[in-house]
Chains A and B, each alone.
Chain A
Amino acid sequence: GAVVSQHPSRVICKSGTSVKIECRSLDFQATTMFWYRQFPKQSLMLMATSNEGSKATYEQGVEKDKFLINHASLTLSTLTVTSAHPEDSSFYICSAPSGQRSNQPQHFGDGTRLSIL
Chain B
Amino acid sequence: KQEVTQIPAALSVPEGENLVLNCSFTDSAIYNLQWFRQDPGKGLTSLLLIQSSQREQTSGRLNASLDKSSGRSTLYIAASQPGDSATYLCAVGPNQAGTALIFGKGTTLSVSS
Interfacial residues, chain A to chain B (CB-CB below 8 A):
6, 32, 34, 36, 41-46, 49, 91, 93, 95, 97, 99-111, 113
Contacts and interface: CB of A to CB of B under 8 A. Distances in A.
A105 B49 contact: yes
For the complex of A and B, list the 4 residue pairs with the smallest distance between their C-beta atoms, beginning with the closest.
A110-B43, A108-B44, A100-B97, A111-B43
A42 B105 contact: yes
A91 B4 CA distance: 20
A113 B38 CA distance: 14
A102 B34 CA distance: 11
Interface of B: 4, 31-32, 34, 36, 41-44, 46, 49, 51-53, 89, 91, 93, 97-98, 100-106
B89 to A, nearest CB: 7
Nearest to A6: B43
Contacts of A108: 36, 43-44, 46
Contact of A41 (B34, B91, B101, B105): B105
A81 B11 CA distance: 35
B103 A43 contact: yes
B46 A107 contact: yes
A41 to B, nearest CB: 7
Nearest to B98: A97
A44 B98 CA distance: 17
B43 A43 contact: no
